[in-house]
Amino acid sequence: MWLSTSKVVGQGLTMPFVGSWTRGLGVRWSVAIGCALYSSGFMLTSVTAGLHFILAIASLSLHGLGFSFVYATAIGAAQKWFPA
């Protein structure tokens, strides 16, 4: 429960700030940074889960931060490429 909650809270707290920052970075850089954070959050969680539970929570919160970079940027780009 704590691990999934840390991801959602991390995403909710960072999305407003990251959203404004990604407009300046552009789609490519935002997706690249987001994918790196998203992947490293999962990889670090597999390592930190055996060390200390607080470290596992902190590393999985990187997953939420990476999701903040990628999700809105990808949806916005898809809406521009394929207008309704």
pLDDT at 57: 85
pLDDT tens digits for range 5-59? 877 888 888 888 888 888 889 889 999 999 998 888 888 888 888 888 888 888 8
Report how far residue 35's alpha carbon sits from residue 65's, in angstroms, rounded to the nearest whole number.
10
User: Which of 1, 6, 2 has the alpha carbon at shortest distance from 41?
Assistant: 6
Q: What is the pTM of this model?
A: 0.79
Size (the chain), residues = 84
